[in-house]
Every structure is written in C-alpha cells, then in structure tokens.
Chains A and B, each alone.
Chain A
Amino acid sequence: GENVEQHPSTLSVQEGDSAVIKCTYSDSASNYFPWYKQELGKRPQLIIDIRSNVGEKKDQRIAVTLNKTAKHFSLHITETQPEDSAVYFCAAFSGGGADGLTFGKGTHLIIQP
C-alpha cells in the first residue's frame, strides 16, 4: 500500500516569514494530493489539493508543488500569520479501489510573534 512520509514534525517560523512542509509518497500510481489543516481541538479541513497532471497550484498565500519523478510534494505558506498556527497533514490517494487517502503524520506549525 501507499506510504506517506512528512517532514518536519515541528516547524517554528517568525510571523511574516515563509514556511515549507515536505512529503514523499511511495506509490507511483497516486494521483491526488490534498493538504489538511487541523487547529487545536478541531476537525481537519482541506486547504489546498493538487492532481498528478499539475506541477503547481496556488491559492493566495498557499501553494503546493508536485514532483512526480521524485515522488514528493510540498506545501508553501508565505507571509505567515498567527492564524496559520496549526497541524498540517499531507495525504496521497492511490486509487484502484484501495484504501482511500493515506495521511502523513503531520507537521505542527508554530508562528512566533
């Protein structure tokens, strides 16, 4: 089955700086890569996703890049703000009627004032 590795587990950045979270996946058949944000005590919520036929996608301060050859994808947050503090999960979907989304273990992003 699919295996998703996510790094770092904790990331601390100064407010206004950029943050980058990286994930690798193992199944070359994976074709959908969403990112979820989970605030403390809340449910995970989708913030951005990318399909395997696209190399980059941007939504205001958030962007995701995908390198299919290297089997890795990254989340980029620019001009970080206090409300960006949360746990971020990457995920991969390998399809074929298999197990649905496989999630990384999460990155705790801390925005320092």
Chain B
Amino acid sequence: DTGVSQDPRHKITKRGQNVTFRCDPISEHNRLYWYRQTLGQGPEFLTYFQNEAQLEKSRLLSDRFSAERPKGSFSTLEIQRTEQGDSAMYLCASSSVNEKLFFGSGTQLSVL
C-alpha cells in the first residue's frame, strides 16, 4: 500500500460550479478525515468518518459541503455552488486506532 491517495491534484473551476474530490485511505485504516488549508495557516477540520459513519462535521461547514464514505473505504467531498472563498488545499488523512495521521498530497482548488 502506497499511502493516502487524493484525486485530482489540482482543480480549477468557475464560481457556481460543483466539484467533487476523492480520497483513498490506507486500506487498514478505519478512520478518515477531511481538512482544508489556506496559505500560511494550519489545517482546518471539516469532517471525520469512522468506517462509513460520519461522526463529526465542523460547524463552520456550510450546507454546500457534503462528504460520503459509502463502503467504509474511499471517500468523496463535494462542494456545490463554489465560491471564491472555497479556494484552498483540501487534505484527506486516515488513521488507525493509534490516531497517528497519514495525509494525502491534497487537492488544490482554485475558484475563478
């Protein structure tokens, strides 16, 4: 297993369009996290899955954001009606019970 994979690496979209990102975690990990990061800042928590259950979602996350992990393996993050303020690096991480996080390389979103 080569680690956490994210697709695409880069996404450029126009304001108002919908975008979807995919994350494939390390296969043995049942915990999956989505974070968002802007330049010069630490990551901002978005949501957390344990297996297929979404156990926590940031109160900062608007209704335009939704995430799924249908079979407890890969996860998708969808942003509807994108805004320029959504431009950021979207990071996915996974972990086992020891909580050491393994991150993917991220998806850089640019909303024009």
Query: A and B, one complex?
Result: no
